[in-house]
Structure 1
């Protein structure tokens, strides 16, 4: 394994032309080694995946770091890419995607394997309109690797090269990505009738939202607190339940755990004796599709399916 105290000269220590030449001479083998080390979490697993020795893959990473003058992976468990490593990892995955599509074009009718497309999707979209939209794509030789991620942080997976595209709440495009507005998902604050009688007889006030139990998806979920800020600028800390699945979250609210924001498309599946809304005006969550600026028929097919379905399913 490459020593953790390895030092490398900075790119600024060398003339720009020399550094540019070093970057251009990065080999596919080095990029593949980096990709496998990060994806498998270590040198040994990456070596097994590539059917080479651990010392060989370690040497490729060491040579890559010496060549560009920067560390590309943190020697942790699991191994993680540095900021520079993330840039190269994104490049490596773009090359892998291009290779898969070229093989399909050359092989034509031969079985050359499915092209793999990695996307990040927020849970509520995944549980409602996304999967039906991607069904035709999945039947056309495209293998979908869907990462469930909160819409407020999914753009980070694009920046790191972890995914090729993402549904995100971030309206500014990630560097190197294109962006398309999909629409907005409507959410309504809801709870059981009994819960409303107990906690919100006088409506949703500063005092009631500070005391009534709340259901959150996870600790990245800020939608409920953004809604609370409509009611009061005060900081409140209500008792909170965390239920990290879309169906489980909605059921927890319908079972009386607390109140929460329920997607408008989900509300009709619960009768009025199970769920009632606390406000007639929905909370609108704008969603965007961001993807690599890369010529890829497979990625474009996924994008077209998502964008069309988003325009049909979401509020425009």
Structure 2
């Protein structure tokens, strides 16, 4: 650029740095303002958000909270104005946005703290209950988790157990929908602690007749492509992990979906298709009902317990029962 005598030079690097400093300062102020706004959120607005997400609609949440639909809508509008973000996607069912998920988790943590405080105050009357929501994979739930939690169910702890595949259960931790989860992910969710529980052992199994028809020469890419497969649901990834270990490639077999653990195992034993059955369940079937399709060691699925980082006697009680039971129910390294 041409310069003329007497024209002051512009230090563009300094100007750029000033702009950057201004931008950083504005960002810090916005963060400070948001933090202050979040601390000032009225509890009834957080409870409105929690109820809407849990019930799936504004109408149902209004009924649960015994207020009008216009009142609950106003609470959400005020909440969104307070944080400067949309917190609810008006879909069917409604879903929390990223900011809504953060606030949902906050709401549940406050609710948990309130319930435990009420329980301590009312301990002599024994009429207060703490609600604990956890996520458990189906095989663990129907295999060893329910017996482990049975003593807790007799205490003043109400268990809300959500069934979800172990490979995606952490989504409910991230969204604030659950306080703890049994998961196959070994990376802790932000704000959670993690404990390794052990590994669940699975056998690839089928009836002798099914194995003779579809796998006369053993497991191969071609046979696995054609043989009917029993899946739990469309989130079930376990069989695919096993297949890739053998084929190193994706296959697209015909599939049956049976969404209960007992029903799944029975479907395999009745010849619907082949599938991966927990070793403990495999041992319960009469001799010659099922055969193992692979002479290799069983597939070991590592499982982990993740829970929110907060002081909660009720949540810790649930965690202790799960961790203690896993030492006997799962394969330990």
In the superposition, the TM-score normalised over structure 2's length comes to: 0.89
Who is 2:282 aligned against? 267
Larger Rg: 2
List per-residue Cα deviations over 1:31-80 (Å, max 9, x = no partner): 11111121122222222212222222211111111111001111122221
Who is 1:285 aligned against? 301
Deviation at 1:234, TM superposition (A): 3.2
Off by >4 Å, runs of 4+ in structure 1:
11-14
Deviation at 1:202, TM superposition (A): 1.1
Bigger shift: 184-193 or 269-278? 269-278
CA distance in structure 2 between the aligned counterparts of 1:211 and 1:77, rounded to whole angstroms: 38
- Asked if 2 retains the 8 angstrom alpha-carbon contact of 1:119 and 1:147, the reply is yes
- Asked if 1 retains the 8 angstrom alpha-carbon contact of 2:122 and 2:128, the reply is no
List per-residue Cα deviations over 1:2-41 (Å, max 9, x = no partner): xxxxxxxxx9596443332212111111111111121122
Q: Which of 10, 13, 19 is the matching residue for 2:34? A: 19
In the superposition, the TM-score normalised over structure 1's length comes to: 0.93
List per-residue Cα deviations over 1:224-257 (Å, max 9, x = no partner): 1211122212332221111111011101110111
- Kindly report the root-mean-square deviation, in angstroms, between the aligned alpha carbons of the 2 structures: 1.5
Matched, 1:249 2:264: yes
Who is 1:31 aligned against? 46
- Asked if 2 retains the 8 angstrom alpha-carbon contact of 1:103 and 1:112, the reply is no
What is the DSSP-based 3-state SS (H/G/I as helix, E as strand, rest coil) of the residue aligned with 2:331?
coil
Who is 1:308 aligned against? 324
CA distance in structure 1 between the aligned counterparts of 2:223 and 2:31, rounded to whole angstroms: 62
Who is 2:181 aligned against? 166
- Asked if 1 retains the 8 angstrom alpha-carbon contact of 2:205 and 2:276, the reply is yes
Who is 1:4 aligned against? none
CA distance in structure 1 between the aligned counterparts of 2:75 and 2:91, rounded to whole angstroms: 18
- Asked if 1 retains the 8 angstrom alpha-carbon contact of 2:126 and 2:156, the reply is no
CA distance in structure 2 between the aligned counterparts of 1:43 and 1:262, rounded to whole angstroms: 42
Matched, 1:80 2:91: no
Deviation at 1:132, TM superposition (A): 0.5
